[in-house]
Amino acid sequence: MEIKWIVKNRNDALAVLFLGWSCDENTVRHVVIPGYDVIAVYDYRDIDACILSEIPFENYTRKVLLAWSFGVWVAGRLLLELPPFDRVVAVNGTLCPVDDNYGIPEKIFAFTLKNIERQGIGKFNERMCGNSINDFTPSRRPFDEQLEELKTLASYFRERQKLFLQWDAVLIGEADSIFPVKNMVRFWEEKSIFVTLCPEMNHYPFCATGIKLIREALGL
């Protein structure tokens, strides 16, 4: 697991962004939140909360966390071991990431994995971003590393884990082509977590409109 500072200006507030599979800090390099230091968390081949102990949480009077895509599950696993955040928000993901009822259906995930293994990540990125592709900066990580991460996450998802359930809000893009919208809505509504449907948001949320919605959900 990697952590990278996007903004480190000794602000009083901190935003921690758990990114989706295959990403690195370049994916959110353009995300600037006035008054906040910003950290990106990614590369989930080895999920270890000890790495997050490098973050000086005690220096901040306000802390918020945003988790996106498969990063929602990772954050759900690690939040139980972290200091409390003032606001915790999920975007386009669930705590059952590969699941016929609450996430990506098993057969579709297996098919997607095979396609990525054969054809690379380009087509997946196009589906993920849709009409927001021009706002997306691809990761600079090697493809072999990204593929290893996806396979590792698939094995993690099969394990039974105690996960954090006290999410403050969830954003779901109605134009998401990766996670079925109805499955995400079903999962969060059954957990009695407030869901905001975002009509034009694709799976990739860090476009201008998406960033605005994310800031509002985080109370920024």
Burial (CB count <10 Å: 0-12, 13-18, 19+), residue 100: middle
Record the pTM: 0.96
pLDDT for position 92: 98
Amino acid at the residue 99: D
Query: Tokens for 13?
Result: 């507030």
pLDDT for position 160: 81
pLDDT for position 135: 87
* pLDDT tens-place values along the chain, 220 residues long: 999 999 999 999 999 999 999 999 999 999 888 999 999 999 999 997 778 888 999 999 999 999 999 999 999 999 999 999 999 999 999 999 999 999 999 999 999 999 999 999 999 999 999 988 988 998 999 999 999 999 999 999 988 889 999 999 999 999 999 999 999 999 999 999 999 999 989 999 999 888 899 999 999 8
Query: Tokens for 99?
Result: 């699941």
**Rounded CA gap, 22 and 44, in Å?**
9
pLDDT for position 94: 98
Amino acid at the residue 69: S
pLDDT for position 26: 93
